[in-house]
Structure 1
Amino acid sequence: MFTALGAGVALIALLEAVREHWAAMFWWLGVALVIDAVDGPMSRRLVVVRVLPNWSGEVLDLVVDFVSYVFVPAYAITASGLLLPVAAPLLGVGIAVTGALYFSDRRMKAADNHFRGFPGLWNIAAFYLFLLHLSPAWSSLGVAILIVLTFVPFNVLHPIRVVRLRRLTLSLIGAWTVLVMVALVNDFHVTMTVTAALCAIAVYIVGCDAAIRLVRSLNT
């Protein structure tokens, strides 16, 4: 029930998006993100798989994640006016379709818990679109690139489950969370320093594994 609550929270986020209350939408998507971060450890702690064997927590989690990570952000990205008017519906459909395919892909996580390809975190992508507020052409190009990267086999850091550099990662995620709240409180009107820090942390999450592999290859 706690996991399923995330779907209800996503609906509230969608209602805020329909009203174009974008900061409020992201606050509610943040609540859904917290639920998603907490429900797994709770489930394992309570051994829900044995207590309720007829209910699939894994399937439920994927359904709720698709709604909050893909579907609601897809609507926001499409309806926000941040994309080219001609491209927006097509890209919105692309987000929904590729997001659904990604969440059904059994290879979505590598053995070391890295995400494989762009991990369908369109809630985060949408946040950066609103934060950077680039021209519609550049925003449309960025969304198109992320759609393609969904199927490109590169590793993206899972902020919680990847063991390597976990302390550094968790520290950066904590800083990122504070900076995101600053941005939302100020309706995305933040200093260049805040924007640069948010972008730097995003680069770390996306490029950390590639950088480590490059350093190792150079050393050998």
Structure 2
Amino acid sequence: MSMVDVEPRATAGQRFRAYAVHVYTACGVGFAFLAAAEMCRPRPDVRLVFLLFAGATLVDATDGPFARMWQVKRFAPNIDGRKIDDIVDYLTFTFLPLLLVWRMEWVPEPGAAWIIPALIASLFGFANEDAKDEEGGFFLGFPSYWNVVALYAGIAYHFHGPMLNGVLLLILTVLTIAPVKFIYPNLAPRPWRIPVLAGAFVWLGVLIVMTYQFPHVSGWLVLVSLSYPIFYTVLSAYLARRRPGP
């Protein structure tokens, strides 16, 4: 039997659920298309673009548990779900958010000088076979959350202009290819998985409220929203130091 053949004992329902997960993951490209179409307008609605990014993030956060629960690798092995996921993630987490930062001129001129290095660094991150330590529950390097960075960049530009964003992009570009570890939320080690995931969903809700207020976001809400990234970064550093090996 070929390595890509479906197991003889697989039922039609098992195969259907497995392929449905692949379709669900691929739906993220729909959010990418709609976001790109909006950015092509003469006066794009930035809030709509961010909401589309949030939709893609929700799909990305939930397809993994479905894939494991319905044994996608076992019942739909001829489709590489990881490859679909990486393509959609690069579009919605990296390429389009950074394109939005350039499109809205939220970084100093020439904007491409700040954006292209980040695009290249993230591309290497996605291509790095060691970027995801699924056993340990870590990403290697900054995990290209440029969709979130773009939201904060828009807010920062409104209050401080473009230079702060340029510095932020430079730091995160270096961290993307640096040998530092960040928690993989869906696979975070116990007992931290529930706090990390619950905090992420609460944080997503706060970001949606910030999107509604954009660009005149309340200063206190921005400070509250930063509590989760700080918690996530500090916990990542703490757990990475405790984990043996490289």
When the two structures are superposed, what TM-score results if normalisation uses the length of structure 2? 0.80
In 2, are the aligned partners of 1:155 and 1:206 still within 8 Å (CA)?
no
- CA distance in 2 between counterparts of 1:89 and 1:174 reads 32
- CA distance in 2 between counterparts of 1:128 and 1:159 reads 21
Amino acid at match of 1:166: R
Distance 1:18 1:138, change over 3 A: same
- CA distance in 1 between counterparts of 2:76 and 2:194 reads 34
Cα deviation, residue 171, structure 1: 3.2
In 2, are the aligned partners of 1:109 and 1:115 still within 8 Å (CA)?
yes
Cα deviation, residue 52, structure 1: 2.6
1:176 alignment partner in structure 2: 203
Distance 1:71 1:112, change over 3 A: same
- For the pair 1:12 / 2:34, whether they are aligned, the reply is yes
1:107 alignment partner in structure 2: 130
1:195 alignment partner in structure 2: 222
- For the pair 1:158 / 2:202, whether they are aligned, the reply is no
Cα deviation, residue 31, structure 1: 0.7
- For the pair 1:149 / 2:175, whether they are aligned, the reply is yes
In 2, are the aligned partners of 1:117 and 1:151 still within 8 Å (CA)?
yes
Q: Which moved more, 1:184-193 or 1:8-17?
A: 184-193
Distance 1:191 1:93, change over 3 A: same
> Runs (4+) of structure 1 moved beyond 3 Å?
211-214
In 1, are the aligned partners of 2:101 and 2:150 still within 8 Å (CA)?
yes
- CA distance in 1 between counterparts of 2:148 and 2:205 reads 14
CA RMSD after TM alignment = 1.9
Gaps of 5+ in 1: none
1:26 alignment partner in structure 2: 50
Count of residue pairs brought into register by the alignment = 214
In 2, are the aligned partners of 1:13 and 1:25 still within 8 Å (CA)?
yes
SS in 2 for 1:112: coil
Q: Which has the larger radius of gyration?
A: 2
In 2, are the aligned partners of 1:117 and 1:153 still within 8 Å (CA)?
yes
Q: What do residues 128-164 of structure 1 show as CA deviations (whole Å, max 9, x unaligned)?
A: 1123333211111110111111111112122332124
When the two structures are superposed, what TM-score results if normalisation uses the length of structure 1? 0.89
- CA distance in 2 between counterparts of 1:159 and 1:53 reads 25
Distance 1:174 1:2, change over 3 A: closer
- CA distance in 2 between counterparts of 1:68 and 1:213 reads 27
- For the pair 1:68 / 2:88, whether they are aligned, the reply is no
Which of residues 91, 95, 100 in structure 1 aligns to 2:114?
91
Cα deviation, residue 170, structure 1: 2.8
